[in-house]
């Protein structure tokens, strides 16, 4: 009888082959190791490209990184010839919401059932993977829909990226992560609502009970909630600290939604691992993040989509006005944090814009202060470090075989990351153009 791991690999191969119909012939089996040849690969740790790339993959692991000139027995491998392309480690997005679509009517989508949201997550997981994002962190979904999607991916039943999922985002009554749009008589309440340190601990434990492998709290108001001031602090320090203590006790990384300055600072003091959005940061907040080693995740692309298409998608005027409040401030904070040398990860808030367009943020990160190498590092080695994964984020022997390719060198033109032409995850090819 085949082992579960082998069955999962066989299922993943079947998925990859079904996705490849009409494309070039892909790796049909794993009896042989795979040899990938390309013009170059990006050594993200060093921030440079290395010419004449030859990568040998066995099962789901990179076993050798060398040059084509050093390979004399090409016939011994399943050959993937990517002439004219540059290889990049599979990139990571540390802030997505797979169960939602920006294109749907804003208020109507709030009434989607959990099964409907799960279907959305399955669809969007595939779109995200084919865009080159082989690892994501989902920071909030109803009914554990994304956890179910993650488990289906891990079982080899559906295609998608490797997922860290928080389950329900945890926040206060009436806060950003509560359900504030229905009338009072509906008695609507989001499943992650908790007031006081022990209620917060209980919600962390509940999320973990049902499969969460990351945690998120909402420390301040937000753009897309009703009745919250976008920069106002919501959770107290004591509530934040209880969430951090419980998450870390269980070995999980914890994120905090935090636009406002005081909320950002309290989250850092409490020991939060990553701050999401970071819209209103002053020098003290940035220095605190530097000293604590806190990662910053700034979604500086999606504002363009919201301001261009939000009204047509039914986003209320009040929410669009809040987006206008944070748009430039967030980009200014991003620029200042980069200049100061803060730890930065790639986080896009996908679902606020269409899934699959994640790569558009790379060029904005460069426009607002990063080098192309720093933008790629944010989405690879930095994100792997945040997740405490020492086998992700590099094209290097011993690392998992998450490899993508673009036409040309992204260190010369970071916009190439918007059109990924080859995707391998865990040694399985899902896309080849």
Q: What is the pLDDT of residues 209-239, one digit of tens each?
A: 999 999 999 999 999 999 999 989 999 999 9
Range list of H helices, 49-168:
106-109, 114-130, 145-154
Confidence (pTM) = 0.93
pLDDT of residue 17: 55
In the numeric block, the tokens 């990139």 are attached to 91
Query: Per-residue DSSP letters for 334-381?
Result: HHHHHHHT-EEE----BTSS-TT-GGGHHHHHHHTT--HHHHHHHTTH
**Residue 295 bridge partners (DSSP):** 274, 343
Query: Burial of 312 by CB count in 10 Å (0-12 exposed, 13-18 middle, 19+ buried)?
Result: exposed
Q: Which parts of the chain register pLDDT below 70?
A: 1-31
Give the torsion sign (CA, 168, 171, 172, 178). Answer: negative
Q: Are 362 and 347 in contact (CB under 8 A)?
A: no
d(CA 249, CA 243): 10
Main-chain dihedrals φ then ψ at residue 113, nearest 5 degrees: -70, 165
Residue 309 CA to chain centroid, in angstroms?
Answer: 23
Burial (CB count within 10 angstroms: exposed 0-12, middle 13-18, buried 19+), residue 131: buried
| CA atoms of 294 and 302, how far apart (whole Å) | 23
Asked whether the CA dihedral 253, 256, 257, 261 is positive or negative, the reply is negative
Q: What is the reported pLDDT for 180?
A: 80
Antiparallel, parallel or unpaired: β 133-138 and 61-67? unpaired
All residues at 6 or more sequence positions from 321 whose CB lies less than 8 Å from its CB, including other chains: none
Cβ atoms of residues 252 and 278 within 8 Å:
no
- Phi, psi of 359, deg, nearest 5: -65, -15
């Amino acid at each position: 009888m085949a082992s579960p791991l082998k069955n999962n690999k066989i299922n993943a191969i079947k998925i990859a082959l079904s996705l490849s119909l009409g494309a070039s012939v892909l790796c049909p089996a794993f009896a042989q190791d795979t040899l990938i040849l390309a013009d170059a690969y990006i050594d993200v740790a060093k921030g440079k490209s290395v010419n004449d790339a030859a990568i040998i993959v066995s099962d789901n692991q990179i076993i050798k990184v060398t040059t084509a000139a050093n390979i004399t027995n090409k016939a011994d491998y399943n050959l993937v010839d990517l002439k004219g392309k540059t290889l990049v480690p599979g990139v990571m997005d540390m802030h997505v919401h797979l169960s939602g679509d920006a294109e749907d009517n804003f208020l109507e989508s709030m009434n989607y059932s959990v099964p409907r949201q799960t279907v959305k997550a399955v669809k969007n997981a595939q779109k995200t993977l084919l865009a080159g994002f082989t690892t994501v962190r989902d920071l909030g979904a109803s009914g554990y829909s994304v956890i179910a999607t993650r488990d289906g991916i891990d079982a080899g039943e559906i295609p998608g990226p490797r997922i860290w999922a928080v389950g329900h985002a945890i926040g206060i009554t009436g806060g950003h992560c509560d359900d504030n749009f229905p009338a009072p008589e509906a008695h609507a309440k989001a499943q992650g609502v908790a007031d006081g340190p022990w209620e917060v601990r209980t919600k962390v434990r509940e999320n973990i009970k049902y499969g969460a492998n990351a945690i998120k709290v909402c420390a301040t108001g937000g753009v897309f909630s009703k009745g919250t001031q976008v920069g106002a602090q919501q959770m107290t320090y004591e509530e934040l600290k209880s969430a951090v203590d419980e998450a870390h006790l269980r070995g999980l990384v914890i994120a905090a939604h935090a636009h406002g300055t005081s909320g950002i600072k309290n989250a850092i003091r409490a020991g939060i691992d990553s701050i999401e959005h970071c819209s209103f940061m002053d020098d003290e907040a940035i220095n605190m993040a530097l000293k604590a080693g806190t990662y910053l995740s700034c979604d500086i692309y999606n504002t363009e989509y919201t301001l261009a298409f939000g009204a047509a998608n039914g986003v209320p005027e009040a929410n669009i006005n809040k987006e206008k409040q944070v748009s430039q401030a967030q980009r200014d904070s991003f620029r200042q944090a980069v200049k100061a040398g803060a730890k930065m990860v790639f986080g896009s808030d996908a679902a606020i814009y269409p899934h699959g367009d994640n790569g558009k943020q790379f060029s904005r990160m460069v426009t607002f202060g990063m080098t192309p190498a720093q933008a790629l590092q944010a989405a690879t080695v930095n994100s792997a470090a945040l997740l405490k994964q020492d086998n992700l984020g590099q094209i290097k022997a011993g690392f998992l075989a998450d490899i993508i390719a673009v036409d040309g060198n992204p260190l010369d033109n970071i916009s190439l990351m918007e059109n990924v032409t080859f995707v391998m995850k865990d040694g399985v090819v899902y896309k080849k153009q």
